[in-house]
Chains A and B, each alone.
Chain A
């Protein structure tokens, strides 16, 4: 059972369109991060959200953490080909010895020029 479910798995859109990807869990996370990974490279940290209901903006990217801290979304406005990549969410669970992040399987985004 995957602790963090991401949807959709694949998304192919035209340049200029808007899109939203989701990260859902039945567990409460202390904090949650979004990473973007390009082919042949490691994931790059985009943002960390901590407070339930928190919204963070990074240029055309908007990240939201659910009120109950069990889910998150990433919205991209006017997608560009440079946004192409694998988007991963990862969460930190509270508790003693929590020295690991739990990752979703990712949403593979292709933005067609």
Chain B
């Protein structure tokens, strides 16, 4: 199976612009999560989509938004970019949490999009 793909891999934008990042999950995976990774804060959860519905959202401003399409591909958008938005944006796909005796949630990550805001 092909892995998670993210496009573009690198992006340079200026403050005030907006950006759209794309993620194609592993075939058959309907859950897509987005994370922001910075050296100081580590991986921080942005949001999760399943079957085109946002099920969970992290503590980020409304400038960060996302959506998922019927083929499970997902996009995230950041409007009015700030210098602090410079980060590695990671997408992870999953079959979704498995609930049995214990909740298991295995995620498979793409290579990320490195966004630099100048």
Spell out A's residues near B (CB within 8 Å). 30-31, 33, 35, 40-45, 48, 50-51, 88, 90, 92-94, 97-106
Contacts and interface: CB of A to CB of B under 8 A. Distances in A.
A103 B38 CA distance: 13
Interface in B22-61: 31, 33, 35, 41-43, 45, 48, 50, 55-56, 58
A101 B105 contact: yes
B interface: dominant SS: strand
A interface: dominant SS: loop
B111 A100 contact: no
Q: Interface centre among A33, A42, A103, A106, by most B CB within 10 Å?
A: A42
What are the 4 A-B residue pairs with the smallest beta carbon separation, nearest first?
A42-B109, A105-B42, A30-B103, A103-B43
Contacts of A97: 55-56
